[in-house]
């Protein structure tokens, strides 16, 4: 029997409890069982437990991101150190906040040797959705300008690093400047404080881009920041939206919209299952092995027995990444 964090009804962190469940078993070598060494707690995990995410069946073990060692499955994978994430993990299939996790063998992705298990476990959601928006949706290229709204957060810090690796000029936008020792701080070329009127934020970004505006705006906040994000775009600029804070709606001047030939691109990492996400992690791994990407800072470590505390820390606004080590 293994220990797992579990919830059978939606609510706050207090609905979580540790229970014993049968150890998962790999079936016909089409599945793999991973001994979870570390699993991060993401905002979407917190929303999932609260009942604010679609497609969750109960009872359920939450947790999207993970790293660990394969203990059962295809022979050539046994004892391999792996990492992963997925829009189905913790929602329609049991997640990573447990001692063991079963996933399809096709989802296996080798962990970067350069990263510890803890560091590898905080990469998944943030970097996969960052890659999805910058590389696959917006098709950001070298010499373009990228404005990252929410640059001090998890996704924003990942996007800033991806933009820098692609050769773009990166402008960070947030209420708080990234701390000097964070990966985001070293990835941005300029910073614009968020908090003034949307036209003012847009004007500052245009001043930093010789009046042109940003070729790509990656809005990791959304909703309350949408007017400022739109005001920051260059002609034929692409706006990437992954979230909505404060409001689900945004007012758009359609004449300005079509005159500017703006593109708005929605990206949802929940649409990528654990196998599709593993394919993206395989693309990201060389950047970590080469030291070009750095994992986001870890500020909280918990055991499964303190799982409620881990979720409560996130709910209370803890900055940095929170991990559980079963």
Decide if pLDDT at 14 tops 90.
yes
CB-count burial class (<10 Å; 0-12, 13-18, 19+) for 124: buried
Report the alpha-carbon distance of residue 280 to residue 273 in Å, rounded. 11
Report the alpha-carbon distance of residue 70 to residue 101 in Å, rounded. 9
| Helical packing angle, 154-165 and 124-131, nearest 10° | 50
Decide if pLDDT at 198 tops 90.
no
Contact present, 65 and 25 (Cβ < 8 Å): no
The DSSP annotation for 119-133 comes to HHHTTHHHHHHHHII
Q: Give which of 119, 175, 139 is closest to 267, Cα–Cα.
A: 139
Decide if pLDDT at 324 tops 80.
yes
Q: Which pLDDT tens digit goes with each residue over 21-61?
A: 999 999 877 999 999 999 999 999 999 999 999 999 999 99
Q: Is the dihedral of CA 296, 129, 190, 294 positive or negative?
A: positive
Report the alpha-carbon distance of residue 119 to residue 40 in Å, rounded. 9
The residue-averaged pLDDT of 251-257 equals 95
Q: Counting every residue, how long is the chain?
A: 326
**Which of the 8 DSSP states describes residue 12?**
S
Query: Tokens for 115?
Result: 């990263």
Q: How far from chain centre, in Å, is Cα 75? A: 31
Decide if pLDDT at 196 tops 70.
no
Report the alpha-carbon distance of residue 201 to residue 162 in Å, rounded. 23
Report the alpha-carbon distance of residue 313 to residue 298 in Å, rounded. 13
* Complete domains list, the chain, with CATH: 2-123+295-324 (3.90.180.10), 126-269 (3.90.180.10)
| pLDDT over 90 percentage in the chain | 95
Q: Which pLDDT tens digit goes with each residue over 134-157?
A: 999 999 999 999 999 999 999 999
- Residue 161 — pLDDT band, cuts 50, 70, 90? very high
CB-count burial class (<10 Å; 0-12, 13-18, 19+) for 217: buried
Give residue 238's pLDDT: 98
Contact present, 217 and 242 (Cβ < 8 Å): no
Q: Which residue has the tokens 């909280």?
A: 300
DSSP lists the bridge partners of residue 70 as 34
The residue-averaged pLDDT of 69-77 equals 96
- Residue 74 — pLDDT band, cuts 50, 70, 90? very high
List of E strands, the chain = 2-6, 17-21, 31-41, 66-72, 81-84, 100-104, 145-149, 169-174, 190-193, 214-219, 233-241, 263-266, 298-302, 321-324
Residue 178 sits at the vertex; the CA angle it makes with 300 and 158, to the nearest 5 degrees, is 75
Phi-psi region of 134 (alpha: psi -120 to 50; beta: other; left: phi over 0): alpha
pTM above 0.85, yes or no: yes
Contact present, 315 and 166 (Cβ < 8 Å): no
Pairing of strands 321-324, 31-41: antiparallel
Give residue 29's pLDDT: 77
């Amino acid at each position: 029997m293994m220990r797992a964090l579990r919830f059978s009804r939606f609510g706050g962190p207090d609905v979580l409890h540790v229970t014993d469940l049968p150890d998962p078993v790999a079936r016909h070598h089409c599945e793999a069982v991973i001994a979870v060494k570390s699993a991060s707690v993401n905002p979407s995990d917190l929303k999932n437990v609260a009942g604010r995410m679609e497609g969750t069946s109960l009872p359920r073990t939450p947790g999207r991101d993970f790293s660990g060692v394969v203990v059962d499955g295809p022979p050539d994978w046994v004892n391999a150190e792996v990492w992963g994430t997925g829009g189905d993990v913790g929602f329609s299939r049991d997640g990573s906040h447990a001692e063991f996790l079963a996933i399809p063998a096709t989802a296996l992705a080798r962990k970067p040797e350069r990263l510890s298990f803890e560091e590898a476990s905080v990469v998944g959601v943030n970097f996969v959705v960052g890659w999805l928006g910058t590389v696959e949706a917006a098709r950001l290229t070298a010499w373009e300008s990228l404005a990252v709204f929410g640059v001090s957060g998890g996704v924003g810090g990942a996007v800033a690093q991806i933009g820098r690796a692609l050769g773009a000029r990166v402008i960070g936008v947030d209420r708080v400047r990234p701390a000097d020792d964070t990966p985001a701080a070293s990835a941005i070329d300029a910073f614009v404080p968020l908090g003034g009127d949307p036209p003012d934020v847009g004007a500052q970004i245009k001043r930093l881009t010789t009046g042109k505006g940003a070729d790509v705006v990656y809005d990791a906040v959304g909703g309350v920041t949408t007017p400022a994000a739109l005001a920051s775009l260059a002609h034929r600029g692409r706006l990437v939206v992954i979230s909505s804070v404060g409001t689900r709606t945004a007012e758009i001047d359609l004449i300005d919209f079509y005159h500017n030939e703006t593109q708005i691109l929605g990206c949802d990492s929940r649409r990528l299952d654990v196998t599709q996400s593993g394919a993206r992690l395989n693309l990201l791994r060389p950047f970590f092995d080469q030291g070009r990407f750095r994992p986001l800072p870890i500020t909280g470590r918990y055991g499964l027995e303190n799982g409620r505390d881990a979720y409560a820390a996130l709910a209370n606004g803890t900055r940095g990444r929170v991990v559980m080590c079963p």
